[in-house]
Amino acid sequence: MLGQIKEKISYLALLETVDSGKPKDEAVADMDDVAACFEFYAGLAEALDGKQHAPISLPMEEFKTYVLKEPIGVVGLITPWNYPLLMATWKVAPALAAGCTAVLKPSELASLTCLELGAICEEVGLPSGVLNIITGLGPDAGAPIASHPHVDKIAFTGSTATGKTIMTAAAQMVKPVSLELGGKSPLVIFDDVADIDKAVEWAMFGCFFNSGQVCSATSRLLLHEKIAERFLDRLVEWAKNIKISDPLEEGCRLGSVISKGQYEKIKKFISTARSEGATILHGGDRPKHLGKGFFIEPTIITDVSTSMQIWREEVFGPVICVKVFKTESEAVELANDTHYGLAGGVISDDLERCERIAKVIHSGIVWINCSQPTLVQAPWGGNKRSGFGRELGEWGLENYLSVKQVTRYC
Ligand code: NAD
Protein backbone atom coordinates (compact mmCIF):
# COMPACT_ATOMS: atom_id res chain seq x y z
CA MET A 1 0.00 0.00 0.00
CA LEU A 2 2.86 2.33 0.87
CA GLY A 3 4.33 1.74 -2.59
CA GLN A 4 1.05 2.67 -4.27
CA ILE A 5 0.70 5.84 -2.17
CA LYS A 6 4.27 6.88 -2.95
CA GLU A 7 3.74 6.23 -6.66
CA LYS A 8 0.62 8.41 -6.65
CA ILE A 9 1.96 11.35 -4.61
CA SER A 10 1.78 13.84 -7.50
CA TYR A 11 -1.71 12.75 -8.47
CA LEU A 12 -2.98 12.80 -4.88
CA ALA A 13 -1.43 16.25 -4.37
CA LEU A 14 -3.14 17.53 -7.51
CA LEU A 15 -6.49 16.20 -6.30
CA GLU A 16 -5.95 17.79 -2.88
CA THR A 17 -5.08 21.17 -4.41
CA VAL A 18 -8.06 21.17 -6.74
CA ASP A 19 -10.38 20.11 -3.95
CA SER A 20 -9.11 22.41 -1.20
CA GLY A 21 -7.33 25.39 -2.83
CA LYS A 22 -4.03 24.81 -1.01
CA PRO A 23 -0.77 25.49 -2.89
CA LYS A 24 0.46 22.47 -4.85
CA ASP A 25 3.84 22.40 -3.03
CA GLU A 26 2.06 22.24 0.32
CA ALA A 27 -0.15 19.42 -0.96
CA VAL A 28 2.93 17.46 -2.07
CA ALA A 29 4.43 17.91 1.42
CA ASP A 30 1.13 16.69 2.94
CA MET A 31 1.22 13.57 0.75
CA ASP A 32 4.81 12.86 1.82
CA ASP A 33 3.54 13.06 5.40
CA VAL A 34 0.70 10.67 4.52
CA ALA A 35 3.21 8.11 3.24
CA ALA A 36 5.45 8.62 6.30
CA CYS A 37 2.48 8.09 8.62
CA PHE A 38 1.50 4.77 6.98
CA GLU A 39 5.13 3.65 7.12
CA PHE A 40 5.46 4.58 10.79
CA TYR A 41 2.32 2.69 11.88
CA ALA A 42 3.24 -0.35 9.76
CA GLY A 43 6.38 -0.49 11.94
CA LEU A 44 4.38 -0.14 15.16
CA ALA A 45 1.96 -2.87 14.02
CA GLU A 46 4.88 -5.27 13.71
CA ALA A 47 6.20 -4.26 17.13
CA LEU A 48 2.78 -4.78 18.72
CA ASP A 49 3.12 -8.58 18.86
CA GLY A 50 6.19 -8.20 21.07
CA LYS A 51 4.17 -6.11 23.54
CA GLN A 52 1.55 -8.81 24.20
CA HIS A 53 1.65 -10.84 27.44
CA ALA A 54 3.74 -8.18 29.18
CA PRO A 55 3.98 -9.45 32.79
CA ILE A 56 2.99 -7.19 35.68
CA SER A 57 5.23 -7.39 38.69
CA LEU A 58 3.21 -8.37 41.80
CA PRO A 59 4.10 -8.45 45.52
CA MET A 60 2.63 -12.01 45.91
CA GLU A 61 3.50 -15.31 44.20
CA GLU A 62 0.12 -17.04 43.96
CA PHE A 63 -1.01 -14.84 41.06
CA LYS A 64 0.53 -14.29 37.64
CA THR A 65 -0.79 -11.31 35.68
CA TYR A 66 -0.13 -10.14 32.16
CA VAL A 67 -1.59 -7.64 29.72
CA LEU A 68 -3.08 -8.11 26.26
CA LYS A 69 -3.55 -5.19 23.89
CA GLU A 70 -6.51 -5.83 21.61
CA PRO A 71 -8.15 -3.88 18.79
CA ILE A 72 -10.97 -1.77 20.20
CA GLY A 73 -13.33 -3.00 17.42
CA VAL A 74 -15.16 -0.95 14.79
CA VAL A 75 -14.01 2.66 14.89
CA GLY A 76 -15.76 5.71 13.44
CA LEU A 77 -13.34 8.28 12.06
CA ILE A 78 -14.75 11.73 11.28
CA THR A 79 -12.38 14.25 9.74
CA PRO A 80 -12.13 17.90 8.55
CA TRP A 81 -11.22 19.57 5.27
CA ASN A 82 -8.04 21.49 6.07
CA TYR A 83 -5.70 18.53 5.52
CA PRO A 84 -8.23 16.13 4.02
CA LEU A 85 -6.09 13.03 3.45
CA LEU A 86 -3.50 13.71 6.14
CA MET A 87 -6.05 14.12 8.94
CA ALA A 88 -7.77 10.92 7.77
CA THR A 89 -4.41 9.10 7.66
CA TRP A 90 -3.58 10.12 11.25
CA LYS A 91 -6.58 7.96 12.18
CA VAL A 92 -6.78 5.27 9.47
CA ALA A 93 -3.11 4.19 9.72
CA PRO A 94 -3.05 3.56 13.50
CA ALA A 95 -6.59 2.12 13.49
CA LEU A 96 -5.64 -0.49 10.88
CA ALA A 97 -2.28 -1.10 12.58
CA ALA A 98 -4.15 -1.85 15.81
CA GLY A 99 -6.32 -4.40 13.97
CA CYS A 100 -9.54 -2.37 14.00
CA THR A 101 -11.99 -2.02 11.15
CA ALA A 102 -12.97 1.55 10.35
CA VAL A 103 -15.72 3.73 8.95
CA LEU A 104 -14.20 6.97 7.68
CA LYS A 105 -16.34 10.07 7.07
CA PRO A 106 -14.24 12.78 5.41
CA SER A 107 -15.42 16.38 5.14
CA GLU A 108 -18.12 17.07 2.58
CA LEU A 109 -15.97 19.99 1.38
CA ALA A 110 -12.97 17.85 0.38
CA SER A 111 -13.47 14.09 0.04
CA LEU A 112 -11.59 13.27 -3.17
CA THR A 113 -8.24 12.10 -1.77
CA CYS A 114 -9.95 9.96 0.88
CA LEU A 115 -11.96 8.26 -1.87
CA GLU A 116 -8.72 7.72 -3.75
CA LEU A 117 -7.27 6.11 -0.61
CA GLY A 118 -10.23 3.73 -0.70
CA ALA A 119 -9.38 2.86 -4.31
CA ILE A 120 -5.75 2.20 -3.34
CA CYS A 121 -6.87 -0.09 -0.49
CA GLU A 122 -9.01 -2.04 -2.96
CA GLU A 123 -6.15 -2.23 -5.44
CA VAL A 124 -3.74 -3.70 -2.86
CA GLY A 125 -6.30 -6.25 -1.65
CA LEU A 126 -7.32 -4.90 1.74
CA PRO A 127 -10.25 -7.21 2.58
CA SER A 128 -13.56 -5.58 1.84
CA GLY A 129 -15.22 -4.09 4.91
CA VAL A 130 -11.95 -3.28 6.71
CA LEU A 131 -11.92 0.37 5.64
CA ASN A 132 -15.30 1.83 4.71
CA ILE A 133 -15.60 5.38 3.42
CA ILE A 134 -18.87 7.27 3.62
CA THR A 135 -19.29 10.75 2.18
CA GLY A 136 -21.96 13.30 2.92
CA LEU A 137 -22.93 16.14 5.21
CA GLY A 138 -22.11 15.91 8.91
CA PRO A 139 -25.66 15.53 10.26
CA ASP A 140 -26.54 12.97 7.52
CA ALA A 141 -23.39 10.86 7.30
CA GLY A 142 -21.38 11.71 10.44
CA ALA A 143 -24.06 11.76 13.15
CA PRO A 144 -25.26 8.19 12.44
CA ILE A 145 -21.69 6.93 12.89
CA ALA A 146 -21.36 8.73 16.22
CA SER A 147 -24.61 7.25 17.54
CA HIS A 148 -24.40 3.79 15.97
CA PRO A 149 -24.48 0.99 18.56
CA HIS A 150 -22.02 -1.15 16.54
CA VAL A 151 -19.35 1.53 16.40
CA ASP A 152 -17.10 0.98 19.40
CA LYS A 153 -15.15 4.23 19.39
CA ILE A 154 -15.21 7.64 17.70
CA ALA A 155 -12.08 9.52 16.75
CA PHE A 156 -13.01 13.02 15.63
CA THR A 157 -11.09 15.99 14.27
CA GLY A 158 -13.00 19.19 13.62
CA SER A 159 -14.55 22.17 15.33
CA THR A 160 -15.19 22.37 19.05
CA ALA A 161 -18.92 22.83 18.37
CA THR A 162 -19.19 19.56 16.40
CA GLY A 163 -16.93 17.84 18.94
CA LYS A 164 -19.47 18.65 21.67
CA THR A 165 -22.34 17.20 19.57
CA ILE A 166 -20.37 14.02 18.90
CA MET A 167 -19.40 13.65 22.55
CA THR A 168 -23.04 14.01 23.58
CA ALA A 169 -24.14 11.32 21.08
CA ALA A 170 -21.34 8.96 22.15
CA ALA A 171 -22.14 9.49 25.83
CA GLN A 172 -25.54 7.82 25.37
CA MET A 173 -23.70 4.52 24.83
CA VAL A 174 -20.68 5.30 27.00
CA LYS A 175 -18.68 5.08 23.78
CA PRO A 176 -15.06 6.27 24.04
CA VAL A 177 -14.17 9.33 22.00
CA SER A 178 -10.98 11.17 21.19
CA LEU A 179 -11.38 14.75 20.08
CA GLU A 180 -8.92 16.93 18.14
CA LEU A 181 -10.62 20.32 18.10
CA GLY A 182 -9.95 23.97 17.42
CA GLY A 183 -7.27 26.30 18.71
CA LYS A 184 -6.16 29.89 19.20
CA SER A 185 -2.49 29.31 19.81
CA PRO A 186 -0.02 31.96 20.96
CA LEU A 187 3.50 32.65 19.67
CA VAL A 188 5.56 34.69 22.14
CA ILE A 189 8.59 36.58 20.83
CA PHE A 190 11.14 38.13 23.19
CA ASP A 191 13.43 41.11 22.66
CA ASP A 192 16.63 39.04 23.01
CA VAL A 193 16.16 37.41 19.58
CA ALA A 194 19.21 38.21 17.47
CA ASP A 195 17.79 36.89 14.20
CA ILE A 196 14.58 38.89 13.87
CA ASP A 197 14.11 37.84 10.22
CA LYS A 198 14.05 34.17 11.19
CA ALA A 199 11.50 34.91 13.93
CA VAL A 200 9.35 36.84 11.43
CA GLU A 201 9.54 33.86 9.08
CA TRP A 202 8.27 31.52 11.83
CA ALA A 203 5.47 33.93 12.69
CA MET A 204 4.45 34.06 9.01
CA PHE A 205 4.64 30.31 8.61
CA GLY A 206 2.86 29.77 11.93
CA CYS A 207 -0.22 31.70 10.90
CA PHE A 208 -0.38 31.97 7.12
CA PHE A 209 0.65 28.47 6.04
CA ASN A 210 -2.36 26.69 4.41
CA SER A 211 -4.04 30.14 4.48
CA GLY A 212 -4.21 29.92 8.27
CA GLN A 213 -6.62 26.99 8.05
CA VAL A 214 -4.57 25.08 10.59
CA CYS A 215 -5.87 24.02 14.00
CA SER A 216 -2.52 24.78 15.60
CA ALA A 217 -1.97 28.09 13.76
CA THR A 218 -0.14 30.49 16.06
CA SER A 219 -2.74 33.15 15.41
CA ARG A 220 -2.08 35.24 18.53
CA LEU A 221 1.29 36.94 18.22
CA LEU A 222 2.77 38.34 21.44
CA LEU A 223 5.65 40.75 20.90
CA HIS A 224 7.97 42.24 23.49
CA GLU A 225 7.56 46.01 23.47
CA LYS A 226 11.22 46.63 22.62
CA ILE A 227 11.02 44.81 19.28
CA ALA A 228 7.34 45.22 18.41
CA GLU A 229 7.67 48.07 15.93
CA ARG A 230 10.67 46.61 14.11
CA PHE A 231 9.07 43.18 14.04
CA LEU A 232 5.77 44.43 12.65
CA ASP A 233 7.55 46.44 9.91
CA ARG A 234 9.25 43.25 8.76
CA LEU A 235 6.08 41.18 9.09
CA VAL A 236 4.15 43.61 6.88
CA GLU A 237 7.00 43.57 4.37
CA TRP A 238 6.79 39.76 4.23
CA ALA A 239 3.03 39.83 3.93
CA LYS A 240 3.25 42.30 1.02
CA ASN A 241 5.64 40.08 -0.87
CA ILE A 242 4.03 36.71 -0.38
CA LYS A 243 2.75 35.18 -3.63
CA ILE A 244 -1.04 34.74 -3.58
CA SER A 245 -2.29 33.02 -6.70
CA ASP A 246 -3.99 30.08 -8.33
CA PRO A 247 -2.72 27.29 -6.07
CA LEU A 248 -1.50 25.32 -9.10
CA GLU A 249 0.80 28.19 -10.15
CA GLU A 250 4.52 27.74 -9.54
CA GLY A 251 5.72 29.49 -6.36
CA CYS A 252 2.24 30.06 -4.92
CA ARG A 253 2.47 30.51 -1.14
CA LEU A 254 -1.15 31.35 -0.38
CA GLY A 255 -4.03 29.74 -2.23
CA SER A 256 -7.73 30.29 -1.77
CA VAL A 257 -9.62 29.41 1.37
CA ILE A 258 -11.81 26.32 1.20
CA SER A 259 -15.25 27.74 0.41
CA LYS A 260 -17.49 30.76 0.03
CA GLY A 261 -18.82 30.15 3.53
CA GLN A 262 -15.31 30.17 5.03
CA TYR A 263 -14.38 33.27 2.99
CA GLU A 264 -17.39 35.14 4.30
CA LYS A 265 -16.78 33.97 7.87
CA ILE A 266 -13.19 35.25 7.76
CA LYS A 267 -14.25 38.60 6.28
CA LYS A 268 -16.83 38.93 9.07
CA PHE A 269 -14.14 38.32 11.71
CA ILE A 270 -12.06 41.10 10.15
CA SER A 271 -14.94 43.57 9.99
CA THR A 272 -15.95 42.79 13.59
CA ALA A 273 -12.34 43.38 14.72
CA ARG A 274 -12.41 46.75 12.94
CA SER A 275 -15.73 47.73 14.47
CA GLU A 276 -14.52 46.70 17.94
CA GLY A 277 -11.63 49.18 17.59
CA ALA A 278 -8.71 47.06 16.33
CA THR A 279 -6.43 48.28 13.53
CA ILE A 280 -6.05 46.33 10.29
CA LEU A 281 -2.35 46.95 9.84
CA HIS A 282 -2.18 44.94 6.63
CA GLY A 283 -4.58 43.00 4.41
CA GLY A 284 -8.19 42.35 5.26
CA ASP A 285 -9.48 41.89 1.72
CA ARG A 286 -9.23 39.96 -1.52
CA PRO A 287 -5.89 40.81 -3.18
CA LYS A 288 -6.41 43.45 -5.88
CA HIS A 289 -4.77 41.37 -8.64
CA LEU A 290 -7.31 38.56 -8.12
CA GLY A 291 -10.74 39.60 -9.30
CA LYS A 292 -12.53 36.45 -8.17
CA GLY A 293 -12.09 33.37 -6.03
CA PHE A 294 -12.01 32.99 -2.26
CA PHE A 295 -8.60 34.58 -1.73
CA ILE A 296 -7.79 36.66 1.34
CA GLU A 297 -4.65 38.70 1.91
CA PRO A 298 -2.49 37.77 4.89
CA THR A 299 -4.07 40.01 7.50
CA ILE A 300 -2.26 41.54 10.47
CA ILE A 301 -4.40 43.08 13.21
CA THR A 302 -3.05 45.30 15.99
CA ASP A 303 -4.53 47.36 18.85
CA VAL A 304 -6.28 44.24 20.02
CA SER A 305 -7.79 43.92 23.49
CA THR A 306 -8.40 40.62 25.26
CA SER A 307 -12.16 41.09 25.19
CA MET A 308 -12.30 41.28 21.38
CA GLN A 309 -13.68 38.41 19.32
CA ILE A 310 -10.50 38.35 17.22
CA TRP A 311 -8.46 37.55 20.36
CA ARG A 312 -10.84 34.94 21.73
CA GLU A 313 -12.23 32.95 18.79
CA GLU A 314 -10.65 30.71 16.18
CA VAL A 315 -10.75 32.40 12.74
CA PHE A 316 -9.30 29.53 10.70
CA GLY A 317 -8.02 31.90 8.03
CA PRO A 318 -4.89 33.99 7.24
CA VAL A 319 -5.43 36.41 10.09
CA ILE A 320 -2.97 37.11 12.91
CA CYS A 321 -3.73 39.34 15.88
CA VAL A 322 -0.95 41.06 17.78
CA LYS A 323 -0.47 42.15 21.38
CA VAL A 324 2.53 43.79 22.97
CA PHE A 325 3.88 42.77 26.40
CA LYS A 326 6.48 44.12 28.83
CA THR A 327 7.39 41.18 31.09
CA GLU A 328 7.69 37.40 30.93
CA SER A 329 4.83 36.88 33.38
CA GLU A 330 2.57 39.17 31.37
CA ALA A 331 3.44 37.18 28.22
CA VAL A 332 2.55 33.89 29.93
CA GLU A 333 -0.71 35.30 31.24
CA LEU A 334 -1.68 36.49 27.75
CA ALA A 335 -0.58 33.20 26.16
CA ASN A 336 -2.86 31.27 28.52
CA ASP A 337 -5.76 33.69 28.12
CA THR A 338 -7.82 31.30 25.98
CA HIS A 339 -10.35 28.49 26.32
CA TYR A 340 -8.27 26.53 23.85
CA GLY A 341 -5.10 24.57 24.59
CA LEU A 342 -3.77 22.96 21.45
CA ALA A 343 -0.37 24.55 20.86
CA GLY A 344 1.90 27.45 21.72
CA GLY A 345 5.32 28.74 20.79
CA VAL A 346 8.09 30.81 22.28
CA ILE A 347 11.01 32.41 20.46
CA SER A 348 13.95 33.66 22.51
CA ASP A 349 17.72 33.24 22.50
CA ASP A 350 17.50 32.43 26.23
CA LEU A 351 16.83 28.67 26.17
CA GLU A 352 16.30 28.50 29.93
CA ARG A 353 13.49 31.00 29.58
CA CYS A 354 12.01 28.97 26.71
CA GLU A 355 12.03 25.75 28.81
CA ARG A 356 10.49 27.64 31.74
CA ILE A 357 7.67 28.95 29.56
CA ALA A 358 7.15 25.54 27.88
CA LYS A 359 6.24 24.18 31.34
CA VAL A 360 3.59 26.77 32.09
CA ILE A 361 1.83 27.15 28.74
CA HIS A 362 -1.45 25.24 29.05
CA SER A 363 -1.39 23.32 25.79
CA GLY A 364 -0.68 19.86 24.44
CA ILE A 365 2.16 21.06 22.19
CA VAL A 366 4.85 23.72 22.73
CA TRP A 367 7.32 24.81 20.08
CA ILE A 368 10.60 26.48 21.01
CA ASN A 369 12.18 28.78 18.43
CA CYS A 370 9.86 27.53 15.70
CA SER A 371 6.18 27.02 14.92
CA GLN A 372 4.26 24.09 13.42
CA PRO A 373 6.77 21.26 12.96
CA THR A 374 4.63 18.10 13.09
CA LEU A 375 6.45 14.86 13.77
CA VAL A 376 4.81 11.50 13.22
CA GLN A 377 6.78 10.08 16.17
CA ALA A 378 5.56 12.67 18.72
CA PRO A 379 2.15 13.01 20.41
CA TRP A 380 -0.32 15.50 18.94
CA GLY A 381 -3.40 16.83 20.71
CA GLY A 382 -4.83 19.47 22.97
CA ASN A 383 -6.11 20.41 26.39
CA LYS A 384 -9.12 22.44 27.45
CA ARG A 385 -11.57 23.07 24.58
CA SER A 386 -9.03 21.83 22.04
CA GLY A 387 -10.05 18.31 23.01
CA PHE A 388 -8.44 15.24 24.56
CA GLY A 389 -6.62 12.11 23.52
CA ARG A 390 -3.42 12.09 21.51
CA GLU A 391 -2.72 11.18 17.90
CA LEU A 392 0.59 10.26 16.26
CA GLY A 393 3.48 8.37 17.81
CA GLU A 394 2.76 5.36 20.00
CA TRP A 395 -0.06 7.37 21.61
CA GLY A 396 -1.90 7.34 18.29
CA LEU A 397 -1.86 3.53 18.28
CA GLU A 398 -3.05 3.31 21.90
CA ASN A 399 -6.17 5.24 20.81
CA TYR A 400 -7.35 2.11 18.99
CA LEU A 401 -6.26 -0.53 21.50
CA SER A 402 -8.10 -1.92 24.43
CA VAL A 403 -6.00 -3.08 27.39
CA LYS A 404 -6.98 -6.40 28.94
CA GLN A 405 -5.65 -7.76 32.20
CA VAL A 406 -5.34 -11.58 32.45
CA THR A 407 -4.68 -12.98 35.93
CA ARG A 408 -4.01 -16.62 36.71
CA TYR A 409 -4.08 -18.22 40.17
CA CYS A 410 -1.07 -20.52 40.33
P1 NAD B 1 -16.48 20.62 11.37
O2 NAD B 1 -16.64 20.36 12.83
O3 NAD B 1 -17.43 21.51 10.69
O4 NAD B 1 -16.52 19.24 10.55
C5 NAD B 1 -15.63 18.18 10.82
C6 NAD B 1 -16.27 16.87 10.38
O7 NAD B 1 -17.41 16.62 11.19
C8 NAD B 1 -16.77 16.91 8.93
O9 NAD B 1 -16.53 15.64 8.33
C10 NAD B 1 -18.26 17.13 9.11
O11 NAD B 1 -19.04 16.66 8.04
C12 NAD B 1 -18.53 16.34 10.38
N13 NAD B 1 -19.76 16.73 11.11
C14 NAD B 1 -20.36 17.93 11.11
N15 NAD B 1 -21.46 17.89 11.90
C16 NAD B 1 -21.53 16.64 12.40
C17 NAD B 1 -22.43 15.98 13.30
N18 NAD B 1 -23.50 16.58 13.81
N19 NAD B 1 -22.18 14.67 13.62
C20 NAD B 1 -21.11 14.04 13.11
N21 NAD B 1 -20.22 14.61 12.25
C22 NAD B 1 -20.43 15.90 11.91
O23 NAD B 1 -14.98 21.12 11.19
P24 NAD B 1 -14.28 21.60 9.83
O25 NAD B 1 -14.82 22.95 9.50
O26 NAD B 1 -14.33 20.51 8.82
O27 NAD B 1 -12.75 21.73 10.29
C28 NAD B 1 -12.23 22.87 10.89
C29 NAD B 1 -12.05 22.63 12.38
O30 NAD B 1 -11.25 21.48 12.60
C31 NAD B 1 -11.31 23.78 13.05
O32 NAD B 1 -11.97 24.12 14.24
C33 NAD B 1 -9.94 23.18 13.34
O34 NAD B 1 -9.27 23.80 14.41
C35 NAD B 1 -10.26 21.76 13.59
N36 NAD B 1 -9.07 20.91 13.40
C37 NAD B 1 -8.45 20.41 14.50
C38 NAD B 1 -7.28 19.64 14.35
C39 NAD B 1 -6.52 19.11 15.55
O40 NAD B 1 -5.62 18.33 15.35
N41 NAD B 1 -6.85 19.52 16.77
C42 NAD B 1 -6.79 19.37 13.07
C43 NAD B 1 -7.47 19.88 11.97
C44 NAD B 1 -8.62 20.66 12.14
**Mean pLDDT throughout 148-163?**
97
Q: Determine if ligand 1 sits within 6 Å of the CB of residue 146.
A: yes
Task: Say whether pLDDT at 22 is over 90.
Answer: yes
CATH value at residue 47: 3.40.605.10
Assess contact for 167 and 389: CB atoms under 8 A.
Answer: no
Same domain, 228 and 121: no
Q: Determine if ligand 1 sits within 6 Å of the CB of residue 167.
A: no
Q: What is the mean pLDDT of the chain?
A: 97
Among protein residues, the one whose CA lies closest to atom 21 of ligand 1: 142
Q: What are the residue numbers of the active site?
A: 180
Task: Say whether pLDDT at 153 is over 90.
Answer: yes
Same domain, 154 and 111: yes
**Mean pLDDT throughout 271-282?**
98
Same domain, 123 and 250: no
Residue 225 domain boundaries: 186-368
**Mean pLDDT throughout 317-329?**
98
**Mean pLDDT throughout 288-312?**
96
Same domain, 25 and 174: yes
Task: Say whether pLDDT at 1 is over 90.
Answer: no
pLDDT digits (tens, 9 = 90+) for 81-112: 999 999 999 999 999 999 999 999 999 999 99
Q: Specify the pLDDT at position 25.
A: 95
> In angstroms, what is the span from residue 297 Cα to ligand 1's centroid?
24
Task: Say whether pLDDT at 375 is over 90.
Answer: yes
Share of the chain above pLDDT 90, in %: 98
**Mean pLDDT throughout 105-120?**
98
> In angstroms, what is the span from residue 245 Cα to ligand 1's centroid?
26
> In angstroms, what is the span from residue 235 Cα to ligand 1's centroid?
30
Among protein residues, the one whose CA lies closest to atom 16 of ligand 1: 138
Q: Do the domain assignments include residue 373?
A: no
Same domain, 51 and 144: yes
Q: Which atom of ligand 1 is nearest to the CA of 163?
A: 2
> In angstroms, what is the span from residue 221 Cα to ligand 1's centroid?
25
CATH value at residue 217: 3.40.309.10
- ipTM (interface predicted TM): 0.97
Same domain, 153 and 140: yes
Question: Residue 199: pLDDT band by 50, 70, 90 thresholds?
Answer: very high
pLDDT digits (tens, 9 = 90+) for 343-352: 999 999 999 9
pLDDT digits (tens, 9 = 90+) for 36-61: 999 999 999 999 988 899 999 999 99
Same domain, 168 and 238: no
Q: Determine if ligand 1 sits within 6 Å of the CB of residue 81.
A: yes
Task: Say whether pLDDT at 262 is over 90.
Answer: yes
Q: Do the domain assignments include residue 328?
A: yes
Same domain, 328 and 280: yes
Q: Which atom of ligand 1 is nearest to the CA of 387?
A: 41
Same domain, 255 and 158: no
Q: Hey, which of 108, 109, 159, 340 would you mutate to test ligand 1's pocket, going by the most ligand atoms within 8 Å of its Cβ? A: 159
Q: Do the domain assignments include residue 379?
A: no
Same domain, 160 and 232: no
Q: Hey, which of 37, 157, 165 would you mutate to test ligand 1's pocket, going by the most ligand atoms within 8 Å of its Cβ? A: 157
Assess contact for 366 and 344: CB atoms under 8 A.
Answer: yes
> In angstroms, what is the span from residue 161 Cα to ligand 1's centroid?
8
Q: Specify the pLDDT at position 216.
A: 98
Q: Determine if ligand 1 sits within 6 Å of the CB of residue 88.
A: no
Among protein residues, the one whose CA lies closest to atom 19 of ligand 1: 143
Q: Specify the pLDDT at position 159.
A: 96
> In angstroms, what is the span from residue 215 Cα to ligand 1's centroid?
10
Q: Determine if ligand 1 sits within 6 Å of the CB of residue 108.
A: yes
